[in-house]
Chain A
Amino acid sequence: MYERLTLIREFEERLKWLVETGVPVGAVHYYTGQEACAVGVCAALEPSDWIASTHRGHGHCIAKGVEVHRMMAEIYGKTTGSNRAKGGSMHITDVRVGMLGVNPIVGMGVTHAVGAALSAKVRKTSQVAVAFFGEGGASIGAVHEAMNLAAIWKLPVVFVCENNGYAQATPVEYAVSVPRIADRAAAYSMPGLTVDGQDAIPVWEAAATAVERARRGEGPSLIECMTCRYYGHHQGDDALRYRTREEEQAARDRDCIRRFREQMLDQHLLAAVELDAIESTNRKKIDEAVAFAESSPLPQPADLFTDVYVPARDGDQK
C-alpha cells in the first residue's frame, strides 16, 4: 500500500510541477490528498475486478495498476499513451488491468461499473466492480438510478463516494440533503458506511467487507470516504476562494501518507530505510515516466481518423 500511496503522490506532485513550469498537458485534476481512498479500495480487489473512475482519476488508475509511463505519455498527448493520445488525463483507461475509464461526465462512470457488475453476473464470473464518485456526483440522477438497479438486481458492485467536501467550489453541506452520503444507502437497501478517507487501513477494511459481500452475491454496498483534495478543482483553481487556510491545514495534518508511515514504524512492520527505499524507487519510476512521455512521438494528422468506428474482429460471426 505504501508503494501505491507514494507513487500516486509522486505522480501528482511531479505533474503539478510540470504544469507550473509550462508543460501544456490540458486539463488535469490532482488527486493529491485522497490517495488512501483509491489505494485502500483497490487493495481489496483482484486484478480481474473492474473499477470506473471520475475526472479526478489518476489515483484510481495507479491504484488499479495502470502503468505510470503510459499515463504520463497520455497526459502529454503522445501516441504511446494509454489511450494513444485520444483521451488525455480525463479519459485514461486500461481495460487490461480492469480500469474501465476515467470519466469526466460526473456520475456516468458509476453506471458503467454497474454494467460491468451486470456483465459479471450474467457471465457467471466472480468479478466485482467498484464505482468511484465524489460527493458532487452523489447529486446526479444517474448515480441514484445505478444504485437502484444494482440493488434490485443484487449486482456485485461497491459504490465508493470520496467526499472531499467540494464539488468544484460548492460545499457539500450546501448541496447534499443528508448529513452523510452513506445515509443514502438505506434508500437502496444496502449497507452504508462512512470511514476516514485519509487513512488507508479503515478504507481497505470497509472495502474488503463490501467486496466479499458482493462476491457472495449479496449485492451492493456504499462506502463514503471522508477526505480532502489538497489543491483546487483543477490545475488553474485557487481553492482559497471557497475554503479556509485552516481547513486545508487540518486536512494536511491528517495526511494519509504520513499517517501510514507512522503506523508502519510504530508497529515495526517496516523500517524507515525500507519506506525510504520505496519512495526513492517511485521517484525513479516517475523520472522514467516523464522521460518516456517527453521522448515519445506525437500523433500524425491521419490518426484523427482512426478508431471512429469499431472494426470487425477475427472470428466474428459474419
Chain B
Amino acid sequence: MTTTAVRELSFGPAINEAIRLEMRRDPNIIVMGEDVAGAAGRAHLGLVDAWGGPLRATRGLITEFGPERILDTPIAEMGFLGAGVGAAMSGLRPIVEIMFVDLIGCCFDQIMNQAAKMHYMMGGQVDLPLVIRTAYGTRGGDNRTYGGGAGAQHSQTLYAVLAHIPGLKVVVPSTAYNAKGLTISAIRDNGPVIILEHKFLGQRAKGPVPEESYTVPIGRAEIVRRGRDVTLCGIGRMTHICSEAAELLVAEGIDAEVVDVLTLSPLDEDTILESISRTRRLVVVDEDTPVCSVARDIAARVADKGFDNLDAPIKTVTAPDTPVPFSAVLEAHYTPGPAQVISAVHELFGTGA
C-alpha cells in the first residue's frame, strides 16, 4: 500500500507543484509568459529565476526544466499567446501565463476567436491543449485605512467575459488543494482552459495538499459547508467570504450551506440546484461587477430551473458597477465582504436592519 504524505501548502506553491509534477510526466508541456522565470539569459552571471510570476507559481521551474521549456517572453501577450495556440495545435501542451487578467485586452483575439473556437471551427480535427493562467482580483478586505491597491487596470475580476465564450473552460480555484487538482486537470484537458488565480490567495489559502498527483474535475462545483437554511454560492476568493459569513450566521441561528462554484464554464448547475432544493434560498457572491456577470447568470439559471424550490427571491452580492478604485479605503468598500453577504441573508429572512 502506498502512503501519501500530506502537508500544508499555500495557493501559489500548490499550483507550482501541479505544474512541476505534470512537466516531469510529459516532455511536451512548456510554460510561457512574462517573467515566469525572470533574469532570462543571465545564467552566465549566476542570475536565474528572478521572478516566477505574480503568485510565484512558476518560481524554481527553470532550474529543473531549463530555458527550453520555461520560456520568458517579451511583453507581447498577443504574440506569445498566439504562439501558444499554434504550439498547442502542433504537438505541445503550453501553459501560458497572462500576468493579470486585466491584460487580456492585449490578447483577447487569441482567446475569443482563436483558442476557444479552433476545435469547433475546424470540424474537430485539432486538439488545443492550452492552459492560460492569470491572476485576478482586488486586495480589498485587508482593512487598511489609507494608501492604495493596484487600481482600476490591475485589480479586475474579468471572468464573465471569458465564461461568455463557448468552447473555453473557465476555472476559478479557491484553496491550495483544489488549485493543484484543477491545474492538473487543466493541463490534461485536450482543449483550452483558463485558470483565474486570486492574487490575494497567492501566499494564503493554506491547507492540506497531498504530495502526489491528483485531479479535481473541471465542471463540478463543491459543497464546502453543509447547511439547511440558505445556500451561499461563492466564486474563488468569495468562497472564503461566504464561509466567514456562514460562521457568523451561526450565532443568529441561521445554518448556511456554502457552494464553491470552481468552474464557471461549463457551469455545474446540478450541484447548485440540488443545494437550493434543500435550503430553498440562494445568495450568489461574486467579486466581479454585476452587469452580465456570472452571479446574475447563476441567478437566472436557478430562477429558470429551480423556481419552484425557492422560498425567497435570489440575491446577488457583487462589486458595484464601477471601476476598481485605487484608495485602500474605497477598495475595501468595493470588494464584497462577509457583512454584505450577511445583509443579503437578512433580506431573505426579512430580518436585520
Contact = CB atoms under 8 A, between A and B. Distances in A.
Contacts of A100: 86, 89-90
Given A119-B90, A123-B28, A149-B74, A105 B113 contact: yes
B122 A87 contact: yes
Contact of A114 (B82, B113, B167, B189): B82
A287 B91 CA distance: 36
B30 A112 contact: no
A258 to B, nearest CB: 36
Nearest to A309: B191
Contact of A307 (B68, B94, B119): B119
Interface residues of B, number: 51
Contacts of B190: 310-313, 316
Contact of B125 (A94, A112, A114, A117): A94
B188 A316 contact: yes
B123 interface: yes
A211 interface: no
Contact of A108 (B71, B109, B266): B109
Contacts of A26: none
Contacts of B188: 316-318
Nearest to B191: A310
Interface string A194-238: 000000000000000000000000000000000000000000000
Given A111-B83, A313-B127, A316-B188, 12 more contacts: A82-B125, A95-B89, A96-B125, A101-B89, A103-B114, A122-B30, A123-B28, A146-B83, A149-B74, A310-B119, A311-B190, A318-B215
24 contacts: A82-B125, A83-B123, A85-B123, A86-B121, A86-B122, A86-B123, A93-B123, A108-B109, A114-B83, A115-B87, A115-B89, A115-B94, A116-B89, A119-B92, A149-B73, A149-B74, A149-B79, A309-B266, A310-B119, A310-B128, A310-B191, A311-B190, A313-B127, A317-B26
| Chain A to chain B: the 3 pairs with minimum beta-carbon distance, closest first | A115-B86, A111-B82, A145-B79
Interface of B: 25-26, 28, 30, 68-69, 71, 73-74, 76, 78-92, 94, 109-110, 113-114, 118-129, 166-167, 169, 188-191, 215, 266
